[in-house]
Amino acid sequence: MRRIIILLFLILLIPSCEKNEVFSRTELRMDTLCTISVYTRKDEALLDQAFEIIDSASAMIDMYDSESEISRVNSMASAEPVAVSDELFSLLMKAYDVSEYTDGAFNLAIGPLVALWGIGGENARLPSEAEIAKVLPLLDWHDIILDEGGKTVFFKKEGMRIDLGGVGKGYIADLIAEMFRESGTESALINLGGNVYGLGTKSDGEPWKVGLQDPFSEHGGYFTTISCSDASVVTSGGYERHFIAEDGKVYHHLLDWKTGYPASSDIISSTIISSDSTLSDMLSTACFVLGSERAEAVVDHYGVSALFLLEDGSIERIRI
């Protein structure tokens, strides 16, 4: 059974001085605290629907849930093509495209390596070089065959495993935001353990203000703020989930499929801002793995905004 982890939010919401009516609920989902807040509209059913979306989507994409749709794919797709829902297939296509463009810096086929390290669970450990070498051939997303005609998934190699953990919160935030829009909700804040989506603006017309956690601070402070409207703010950093191995070194959860070890770059904290939270989630990971020089081309290609906190303490802003 996976250990439940309560993470400090990577993104801390800066409270407003104005006294707006807010209808909010916080519950534990996806191993973290999720807070859904609706402004100037008190509707219990909206919050019910939001958390139902979290549960439904998690039941589709959580590879640690043996009953999930993606677990069914992982257990069967090396034997024969597996038909999947339209929703899952669409997400897999998007994840495949980002995997391709970023050369696996975000990699939907990373599952075997994630499972081997176990970071964030009860059995996190430093694998042997032999164990890592054994799974490296299973991490090539080109060996995942997505058939658009039949909406099927097939693995060319036995032991492959899709992991959508690096896109799940962003995808769910988009689903909730869309539900709110369809309901006529104009002002809401979706915080899925640090993945934040600000729908519309605050009730006074001002944009949402989001503070980014300072990885160098022991007290959970923030090093800068970002304003956003109808956009998501997603941050990835090696300080989010990690463990200290017997060799005394700290190993984080953002893994490099080429080496089999945690990625090493000049980026300490990688933040992507865009209206597409699914994309923001994937690109925040990819840019962290790539480092600032290569990440700039990715940011330009997708037309998103980015803020990188670098290891020397400097901040790089792109379209902010």
Reply yes or no on whether the pLDDT at 171 is more than 70.
yes
Torsion-angle region of 303 (φ positive above 0: left; ψ -120 to 50: alpha; else: beta): left
Strands in the chain per DSSP E:
11-13, 22-29, 32-39, 82-83, 144-147, 152-155, 187-192, 195-200, 208-213, 222-228, 231-237, 242-244, 250-252, 267-274, 305-310, 315-318
Residue 9 has pLDDT above 50, yes or no: no
For range 188-206, the mean pLDDT: 92
Average pLDDT over residues 27-52: 92
Q: What is the pTM of this model?
A: 0.93
Q: What is residue 255's DSSP assignment? A: B
Count of structural domains within the chain: 1
What is the rounded average pLDDT of the residues 77-97? 98
Please state whether beta strands 82-83 and 144-147 pair in parallel, antiparallel, or not at all (unpaired). Answer: unpaired
Q: Which of 96 and 121 is assigned the larger pLDDT?
A: 96
Is 251 among the domain residues? yes
Instruction: Give the domain CATH number at 207.
Output: 3.10.520.10
- The least confident of 85-99, 166-180, 246-260 is 246-260
> 259 lies in a domain?
yes
pLDDT at residue 123 is higher than 60: yes
In a domain, 281, yes or no: yes
**pLDDT at residue number 246:** 80
Does the pLDDT of residue 162 top 70, yes or no?
yes
Q: Does the residue 217 lie in any domain?
A: yes
Provide the residue range defining the domain that includes 311.
Answer: 11-42+186-318
Examine the pLDDT at 297 and tell me if it is beyond 60: yes
Average pLDDT over residues 11-17: 48
Please compute the mean of the pLDDT values over residues 73-78 and round it to a whole number. 98
Q: 235-277 pLDDT, tens per residue?
A: 999 877 788 888 888 899 999 999 999 999 999 999 999 999 9
- Residue 20 confidence (pLDDT): 56
**SS3 state at 4:** coil
Q: Is residue 232 part of a domain?
A: yes
Mean pLDDT (the chain) is 92
Q: Provide the pLDDT for residue 14.
A: 55
For residue 292, being part of any structural domain is answered with yes
